[in-house]
Structure 1
Amino acid sequence: MTHLHKPVRTFLFVPGNKPTWIEKAAAAKADALILDLEDSVPPDHKAAAREIVTSRLAWLAEQRQRTWVRINRTPYLYDFDDILAVVGPHIEGVFISKPMGVEDVNLVSAMLSEAEHRRGMPVGSTRVIPIMETARAMQFAFELASHERVAALSGATARNGDVERALNTVWSVDGRESLYMKSRVVMAARAAGKLPIGGMWQQVHDLDGLRIACMRDRAIGMSGELVIHPSNVPIVNAVYSPSAEQLAYYRGMIAALDQAQAEGRASCLYDGEHIDIAHVRTAREIVAAAQERGGP
């Protein structure tokens, strides 16, 4: 299976035709950038955007910025010019829009393999994250997640966006209409050992609404969010990171069970609750993930 080598809380979209925005985005403290060659770039700017993105990849790597690229789809293929331009050691992978099913991941995987071969890179090293924007892709979510190239599934929704059109849903503040779809993405991704990615909050200046939406996604099992404005990054990062108090609680839980096991018991009471090995396994994962991100 192909995994993200390090979890991602925030994927920040940046239009590929805006070089100054790309440079500013590197300071936003997003876990990863998505340099966009698709919907945020006007059609007559796409060739220039490809050149701009290609020219900034090495610089972003020097800034230790994790980087992905969203490529275009053509009538018959994904854009091979995009793939040839960006595949290399400075990106982790590509986002693909509007896949209909695993056949589209197979298609882009073959194109990536050719690009990797031409670049002298290990074939299979460029990851793929499908953006689940069609009803058929959602129906076959597990099959997409199971592909060896796929590192995560994006189950993001947006008001008046592709998902709303594909499912004929009506956007609401509480997100009830997207709960089943997002839960399906979470289940499929987790079953395949991959990560589910949520989002995408479009009311970028409504930071309270963003926090609530992120907390809903986090509660159903999402591991991170697609973000479209740098001001949203700190809030999303905070929602997907345990606080110092929470980490202290989980470390205390680990210590309590360690003591119980030293006394010959497999469970104990901690902070008034029964805990056992299963609870501490969760605690260890949370603490380890925070340490990997450089948390307290």
Structure 2
Amino acid sequence: MKPIRSFLFVPGNKETMLDKAVNAGADALILDLEDSVPPAEKVAARALVARKIPELIAKGQRIWVRINRTAHIYDLDDLLAVVQPGVEGIYISKPWGPEDVHMASCMIAEAESRANLEIGTIKLIPLLETARSMQLCFEIAQIPRVAGIVGATAKNADVGRALKYVWTAEGRESEYLKSRVVMAARAAGKVPIGGIWQQIKDLEGLARASQFDRQLGMAGELALHPMQVETINRTYTPTVDEVAYYQGMVDALAQAQANGRASVMYDGEHIDIAHVKTAHDIIALAAEYQS
């Protein structure tokens, strides 16, 4: 999956918000049919999102959709409406464990079949919001259709309620959870996603929280409002100085190897091929976001 720094939630029942979201600069939109849509408007929201998807994709926007959960399964009507050509994937909330994610994957396969799409076209990202799904995060991440897993820790939201921790801006209480999500995702070759900072106007707090998530190994964040996108994108994009530093590292080792050495001192540190592999990864990531 091409890197995504920012996933912006957009209420699926608000056509003006759907139209404006393409200008927010988010790497991907999550058209939300779940928590941001009142129960009485869910059917109309489904129809609106289904109608808007081709238009948003035509404008170059990467599209994901968060579907509803019914009493026993995920909402098949939602899936049949939104599984369309060009849709990148589906978000599901509150899976109990791998069983629910497998079930959702099978339901997506059915929707793909009915839409004449190749099976496996539509990716799946679960939001880990139950204690059991967090405990079984690696098992979930290994499921083939899963592209990433979310370890989000919004104040007073599902994760905090499930684990009974007391939220702080510093995030020490959720550091273990997020690190488990990062390790599980990376071990399975998938993407770990962080967030959510729900104090919308506190962009300094968002910058600190996003930087902390990036330090833990997250690849990107969920955003609740367009004003958060720029901060998140900036946090997850290697800076010009970072790229210059790592390019200098690559050049320093290349010079050392030309002189018959396998390591060299660079900027006061001992480096070898392992460090340069990291440098190449960061340089390549910066190039992805510039393309």
Amino acid at match of 1:109: S
In structure 2, what is the Cα distance between the partners aligned to 1:286 and 1:176?
27
Q: Distance in 2 between matches of 1:230 and 1:75?
A: 32
Of residues 54, 70, 74 in structure 1, which corresponds to 2:50?
54
Question: Match of 1:94, as an amino acid?
Answer: I
Partner of residue 265, structure 2: 269
Pairing 1:245–2:241 present: yes
Counterpart in the other structure of 2:180: 184
- Alignment match of 1:151 (pick from 147, 157, 162): 147
Say if 2:59 is the partner of 1:63: yes
Matches within 5 A, 1:281-296: 281-294=277-290
- SS of residue in 2 equivalent to 1:76: coil
Q: Give the corresponding residue for 1:225.
A: 221
Decide which of 101, 105, 115 is 1:105's aligned counterpart.
Answer: 101
Give the counterpart letter for 1:227 in structure 2. Answer: A
Instruction: Return the TM-score normalized by structure 2.
Output: 0.98
- Return the alpha-carbon distance in structure 2 between the equivalents of residues 262 and 56 of structure 1: 56
**CA deviation after TM superposition for structure 1 residue 18, in Å:** 0.6
Give a deviation string over 1:253-281, Cα, whole Å, max 9, x none: 11111111111111111112111101110
Distance 1:58 1:262 in 2: 53
Contact 2:238 2:285 in 1 (8 A): no
Aligned partner of 1:18: which letter? K
Does residue 19 in structure 1 map to residue 46 in structure 2? Answer: no
Percent identity over paired residues = 59
1:123 is paired with a residue of what secondary structure? coil
Any idea what SS the aligned residue of 2:221 has?
Answer: strand
1:166 aligns with 2:123: no
> 1:196 pairs with 192, 202, 209, which one?
192
Partner SS for 1:74 = coil
Higher mean C-alpha deviation, range 35-44 or range 88-97: 88-97
- Residue 41 of structure 2 corresponds to 45
Alignment partner for residue 80 of structure 1, among 50, 66, 76? 76
Secondary structure of the residue aligned to 1:212 is helix
Taking the aligned partners of 1:123 and 1:53, their CA distance within structure 2 comes to 22
Structure 1 residues 137-171: Cα deviation after superposition (integer angstroms, max 9, x where no partner): 01100000000010000000111100011111111
Give the match for residue 134 of structure 2: 138
Alpha-carbon distance in 2 for matches of 1:57, 1:263? 56
1:56 Cα deviation (Å)? 1.0
Give the match's secondary structure for 1:89.
coil
Q: Distance in 1 between matches of 2:278 and 2:30?
A: 30
Structure 1 stretches lacking a partner, 5+ long? none
Q: How far, CA to CA, are the matches of 2:251 and 2:52 in structure 1?
A: 46
Q: Distance in 2 between matches of 1:43 and 1:64?
A: 30
Cα distance in 2 for partners of 1:151, 1:214 equals 21
SS in 2 for 1:214: helix
**Amino acid of the residue matched to residue 228 of structure 1?**
L
How many Å separate the matches in 1 of 2:70 and 2:25? 32
- What residue identity is the alignment partner of 1:159? K
Unaligned runs of 5+ in 2: none
Q: Within the alignment, does 1:124 sit opposite 2:120 as a pair? A: yes
Find the aligned partners of 2:191 and 2:110 in 1 and give their Cα distance. Answer: 26
Give the whole-Å Cα distance in 2 for the aligned partners of 1:290 and 1:56: 31
The answer on whether the counterparts of 2:125 and 2:147 sit within 8 Å (CA) in structure 1 is: yes
Partner amino acid for 2:86? H
Aligned to 1:293, the other structure's residue is in SS state: helix
Q: SS in structure 2 opposite 1:197?
A: strand
- TM-score with structure 1 setting the length: 0.97
2:209 is equivalent to residue 213 of structure 1: yes
SS in 1 for 2:189: coil
For the 8 Å contact 2:237–2:289, the answer to whether it is kept is: no
Residue in 1 that maps onto 2:27: 31
The structural deviation recorded for 1:90 is 2.2
Q: Deviations over 1:232-269 (max 9, x none)?
A: 10111111011111111111111111111111111111
Partners of 2:108 and 2:234 in 1: CA distance: 34
Q: Which amino acid aligns with 1:258?
A: A
